[in-house]
A and B are shown apart, each in its own frame.
Chain A
Amino acid sequence: NAGVTQTPKFQVLKTGQSMTLQCAQDMNHNSMYWYRQDPGMGLRLIYYSASEGTTDKGEVPNGYNVSRLNKREFSLRLESAAPSQTSVYFCASRPDRASTEAFFGQGTRLTVV
């Protein structure tokens, strides 16, 4: 029962480096989401994909890009990492955008130095 799988679990980047966070779900869900979690800020939506082939900006999209590679996979890319992007990143999926329950991955802890 894998659910939502994120890789890597931990990453340290230097300012200006790029990287892609991977997310895959095996529940045949249509909607997928990327959040970042910062102390005292809760979970803030970066980008989401309501269905395969579509992506939309969330609350805090600046500095990020996403790709919905197929129904299973939704990746988040940092083209030029900045210290302000140090955070814990969570991927989530839902059967569709009308379904309320979101299933989360275990998170990626990213540090930008």
Chain B
Amino acid sequence: GQQLNQSPQSMFIQEGEDVSMNCTSSSIFNTWLWYKQDPGEGPVLLIALYKAGELTSNGRLTAQFGITRKDSFLNISASIPSDVGIYFCAGQLRSSNTGKLIFGQGTTLQVKP
């Protein structure tokens, strides 16, 4: 099936550092979403992107919808311990008429105080 390649798979950083993660695909998407999952919880939406080239911020988080419509990245600035969790990208294919979301494999982030 369709697949999103998300990288890196995991990150262990020092508090205060910036973080960057991305998702790529060989398919074209019309929507990109970024979710965060806290331990023992379900994913929660952080940022939604709807147009190629769109750059959107949510506090210390910034995400961009790639110009080719095949990729997206998420940056977290000045990380803090509560940023710990699993970050997922998700996309809706331009060719999809079912509205199904495809998820990346996730990036596990650990922050050392």
Contact = CB atoms under 8 A, between A and B. Distances in A.
Interface of A: 4, 31, 35, 40-45, 48, 50, 56, 58-59, 90, 92, 94, 96-102, 104-107
A40 B50 CA distance: 27
A96 B9 CA distance: 31
A109 to B, nearest CB: 9
Interface residues of B, number: 25
Interface string B34-45: 000000111111
B88 A42 contact: yes
Contact of A59 (B1, B40, B88): B1
A96 B98 CA distance: 10
Contact of A106 (B40, B90, B99, B101): B40
B41 A107 contact: yes
A42 B105 contact: yes
Contact of A101 (B6, B45, B88, B100): B45
Contact of A102 (B1, B9, B98, B101): B101
A100 B33 contact: yes
Interface string B68-109: 000000000000000000001010100000111101111000
Interface in B17-71: 31, 33, 40-45, 48, 50
10 contacts: A41-B105, A42-B104, A42-B106, A43-B43, A43-B103, A48-B98, A90-B43, A98-B99, A107-B40, A107-B42
Given A42-B6, A100-B33, A100-B48, A4 B42 contact: yes
Contacts of B41: 106-107
Nearest first, the 8 A-B pairs at minimum CB distance are A97-B99, A104-B42, A43-B103, A42-B103, A42-B105, A100-B31, A104-B43, A59-B1
Nearest to A96: B99
